[in-house]
Copies of this chain bind each other. A is one copy, B any other.
């Protein structure tokens, strides 16, 4: 706002909300008004949830996931398949795979990908921890579930190379037509990969 309309606390709240992904200045104001109109039901619980999360969130020392527990909820879950480690770039990817119930194994969060342009080297990622975990007898398979970007694939190749010393199977996600996707809208690379990896009906 160009002129000062409200007390500083509300201005500050709007400015911070506007920094969240998916919210801009306009939607941050709408969100702030909604919070003000729902002080007891949303504003107070959100303030305390943020405060609690701020106090408690840490990076899991085993897998690199973010959680309020350390080791994280997933690493502590004895019901999960301890023989599989699924490698992802970010905690958000882990959450996405969990929502899909895609694997019942453990995870390993790299914290990014190798990148020549951004100067991210192997030692900047959580790769050493992965090799140590994969070198344990109980682990049979490492699924590399990084993004299908150039940096992601470079990282996948590097990790595969590093894992050769461990006695594990290394696999990657399948390429193909997204479920519900229309061929007409897909790029040539995906279509070629889908044909190449075709399956008997």
Contacts and interface: CB of A to CB of B under 8 A. Distances in A.
A41 to B, nearest CB: 9
Given A20-B31, A21-B31, A22-B31, A5 B73 contact: yes
B16 A23 contact: no
A95 B31 CA distance: 13
A7 interface: yes
| Identical chains bound together, number | 2
Contact of A53 (B13, B50, B54, B94): B13
Nearest to A100: B2
A131 interface: no
18 contacts: A1-B99, A3-B101, A6-B65, A7-B73, A9-B57, A10-B68, A12-B52, A13-B49, A16-B49, A20-B23, A21-B30, A22-B30, A29-B92, A33-B95, A36-B66, A39-B57, A43-B54, A44-B54
Given A6-B95, A9-B57, 11 more contacts: A6-B73, A10-B66, A20-B35, A21-B30, A22-B30, A33-B92, A35-B53, A39-B54, A43-B54, A47-B54, A51-B51
Interface of A: 1-10, 12-13, 16-17, 19-23, 27, 29-31, 33-37, 39, 42-54, 56-57, 65-69, 72-74, 90-92, 94-95, 98-99, 101
